Structure 1
């Protein structure tokens, strides 16, 4: 495994509502940020690159996702930290649909924590690729 490029889409750690009871106990911005950095390190360790598209929740997710997907080809897109809190259902749908519109052939994977993003992407890596602009 090497030379592939992964995008992780999630909520910026400082924008997460940690009072949501659906979130794991003890979750905080530092833990999420550390997990994302660990995921990037693990991807690099196996020769793959990993970009982050972290949503600030100040507007619809379409524009930042479209911009990131237009910037380079991706072999897999991992969506994480959005589908678990029930309050994020509409955001989750918007993210999935934005990815589908702007990268229709790229496999989508879902993680359960930032650190298992490598495992999530590995399930789908190599089954599609999008080039910048579509």
Structure 2
């Protein structure tokens, strides 16, 4: 079975006024169900940019050989998170070199992002 890892920023930790973390989490959970509907075995890793990000990412990336890793727009689009985005790319290259890399634009198009690279 094809596998995908979705990496996103924890929606409950995003310091954005009026952002409904629960609604974003619900959208992510719905997207995870969609992966299954497409026959893709998917997992999600939500991170916060702190001392735990690197070890959390390495554990997820080395859990099994992923076919594709999807990096969420919340990480990629936020300029203050550029160093985290760079760190993620380098960790993927180092710990999951066989995986294609895809980028979503919002929680609801992660499946499409993965399918572009599978």
Q: How does 1:5-20 map to 2 (within 5 A)?
A: 5-19=3-17
Structure 1 unaligned spans of 5+: 20-25, 126-134
- In 2, are the aligned partners of 1:18 and 1:28 still within 8 Å (CA)? no
| CA deviation after TM superposition for structure 1 residue 118, in Å | 0.3
Structure 2 unaligned spans of 5+: none
1:120 counterpart = 2:118: no
- Between Structure 1 and Structure 2, the one with more strand by share is 2
Q: How many residues end up aligned between the 2 structures?
A: 117
Q: How does 1:38-77 map to 2 (within 5 A)?
A: 38-59=30-51, 61-77=53-69
- In 2, are the aligned partners of 1:43 and 1:49 still within 8 Å (CA)? yes
Listed one character per residue, the Cα deviations across residues 6-28 of structure 1 (whole Å, up to 9, x for unaligned) are 10011111111214xxxxxx642
How big is the alpha-carbon RMSD for the aligned residues of Structure 1 and Structure 2? 1.4
More deviation in 115-124 or 27-36?
27-36
Which residue, 76, 84, 89 being the options, matches 2:82? 89
Query: Which TM-score applies when normalising by structure 2?
Result: 0.90
Task: Please say which structure displays the higher CA radius of gyration.
Answer: 1
Listed one character per residue, the Cα deviations across residues 17-46 of structure 1 (whole Å, up to 9, x for unaligned) are 214xxxxxx642122201211111101112
Query: Which TM-score applies when normalising by structure 1?
Result: 0.80
